[in-house]
Chain A
Amino acid sequence: MDDLAVSTRGLRKTYRTRRGKRVVAVRGLDLDVPAGGVHGFLGPNGSGKTTSIRMLLGLIRADAGTMTMFGRPVPERLPEVVSRVGAIVESPKFFPAFSGRKNLELLAEAIGAPRSRVGEVLAETSLGERGKDKYRAYSLGMKQRLAIAATLLKEPDLLIFDEPTNGLDPAGIREIRETMRSLGAQGRTVLVSSHILAEVEQVADTVSIIGHGRLLASGTVAEVIGGAGKGTVKVAIDNHEAAIPVLTEAGWTVRLDGGYLYVDGAAHPADVTRRLAERGMYVAELAPVRADLESVFLELTAGEGLGTDEIKPGPRGGDR
């Protein structure tokens, strides 16, 4: 099972809030993250992404379910695999009064990495000179880069980034995206969570979409998109009025939009052409509609509402 970097089955977590209310944050999550490449872990705010990641890392205890990383059951055998896993959960967190370099030196020493590695990872994340400044004085982008530098101290096979671009400016977002892409290209596995789809669509090889703490869809980006947009065909034809009843008779739904007919429900685009040709109508243009991740996402999560039932994510969302 070493071809899966991460796998969970029936993972559950219920929080008890201060007022004694119970919030089911993750309800039976089955997640598979293949080894190698970038895997997008998508879901709206409050859908349980951070909670799942914390459970994987042993920061919080699952109520039920099993988890493996590189085939090892975790958290039981987490110590065996932790040196292969670098993670940033929510925002980067370091000692504010120490310099970036000092923070990394302490971590490097704790895991027995050579001290020279600190200089290397600072250079790799272009922090170089700024390493000696206090962490407190860093911009958000620099903090994020320092956090990535920290994960690289281990030279990990799996990197877990939880909403890494939150709050970054466009340049920062692009930087992170490129870092993820290059880490994936090096044969490492990057598990990146996000509620912003556009961000992940460009770099992810595979994605999992969750809502309500449950898996809604997973596969390659093409599969997930194809699956959702299946059967929608865009047709240009001279005589709409005549064509529409022909198509509806076949049991398909038809919508006219911007001079095009959108036909839903056909098993194959060829069926549409054949049907029309039988009645002596010929299409001028025909294309299967490729849904983008955004619409897939909305479609999948439409019935799910946002996040959990119990707590409506406020302005701060589920990220606390």
Chain B
Amino acid sequence: MIRLVKVELKRLYARRLTIIGIAGVVLITGLMLFATWRSARPLSESELQQAQTQFEQVHSEWVRSADEWKKQCERDYASAPDPKPSIAEYCSYPEPRLEDFGRPRFTFADTMPDLLYGASYLLAGAAFLIGASFVGAEYSSGSLGNWLTFEPRRLRVYGSKLLGALLGHVPVAVVTLALLIGGTALIVELVGNTSTTSGKVWGDLLAIAGRSVVLAAVVAALGSVFAMLLRHTAAAIGLLMGYLVLVEGVFGGFLIKAQPWLVRLNVDAWIKHGTTYWVDNCQTMPDGIYNCTSLEKTVSFGHSVWYLGIAAAVIVALGALVFSRRDLT
């Protein structure tokens, strides 16, 4: 079995699509770093000037009118529909600050997680594509049948292909994320603001990166299973896209209650260690006014672990069942 996995790993890295996929991921990572560098630069003289002018305008306006706004607001408060925040909260007009004007100040601690989230989806997408074509190509070339005349134990063949796709993506994801984190850290070190970068921040970042690696590896294996089930790379990709767009995108939008059971939200919760979504709570009030409020709900990290773990296990088991009984003609 170990021998078979090694062979599959070799095959994975010898494939042109794997190389192209990795090159694409690295290229996009490079672009992300470039964009980071652009926004991490300190403000130029003219940018500072602009921000200062804007700030002064808004500030003088605030000095002149804040009291008046506040009084007006307090008068309106009574007629605002329930439920509503306290009057102090409802009618606060804080003094504008210079930092809020011009291009936002760049800090490593604020930006890095978002970059990692983006990279996670990028890696997962590439992993699915590479994983699906890894097995899909065997169906389209017919070489899978030939392979089985050398190793007829179907479950071993299946397992080795999945493990090959899974393990093969670990170094890819690790290197990509290391490039991204290292590159961003370097950029920030050179031109940006590292003041808020604490040990805790690093710990969180590494945890995100770790989860992202696991995601990419598992998605690659699932891509292989999809192609195994459907006998075709394009069909596997089509199914995933169709599911995400139609089921999760369209129906998911209607079925608000189903949100915690959507794959996308759970993947989000997995990467971000918990995530939130909004539920509109609409009702007709006694006075006949139709009123909606948005409630923020959470999908916990634990929920996503269970959900995704079980979903992946079911798909892998289904693939094993089908492949072990399938006629290869």
Contact = CB atoms under 8 A, between A and B. Distances in A.
Interface of A: 15, 54, 57-61, 75, 78-79, 82, 85-87, 89, 91-98, 102-103, 106-107, 109-112, 147, 150, 154, 320
Contacts of B149: 57, 59, 82, 85-87, 89
Nearest to A58: B152
B143 to A, nearest CB: 5
The contact size tier of chain B is: 20 to 34
Contacts of A85: 149
A79 B152 CA distance: 6
Contacts of B153: 79
Interface in B191-224: none
9 contacts: A58-B152, A59-B328, A60-B328, A93-B141, A94-B141, A106-B11, A110-B150, A147-B146, A154-B150
Nearest to B15: A97
B329 A78 contact: no
A102 B14 contact: yes
Contact of B327 (A61, A86, A93, A98): A61
A82 B152 contact: yes
B19 to A, nearest CB: 11
B317 interface: no
Nearest to B143: A93
Interface of B: 3-4, 6-7, 10-11, 14-16, 137-138, 141-143, 145-153, 325, 327-329
Nearest to B10: A106
B299 to A, nearest CB: 42
Contacts of A92: 146
B161 to A, nearest CB: 12
Contacts, number: 77
B152 to A, nearest CB: 5
Contact of A57 (B16, B137, B148): B148
Contacts of A93: 141-143, 145-146
B150 A59 contact: no
Given A78-B152, A85-B149, A87-B149, A109 B141 contact: no
Contacts of B150: 82, 107, 110-111, 154
B146 A94 contact: yes
B145 A59 contact: yes
A223 to B, nearest CB: 31
Contacts of B11: 95, 106
A106 B10 CA distance: 8
Contacts of B146: 89, 92-94, 147, 150
A131 to B, nearest CB: 15
Contact of A59 (B6, B16, B143, B327): B327
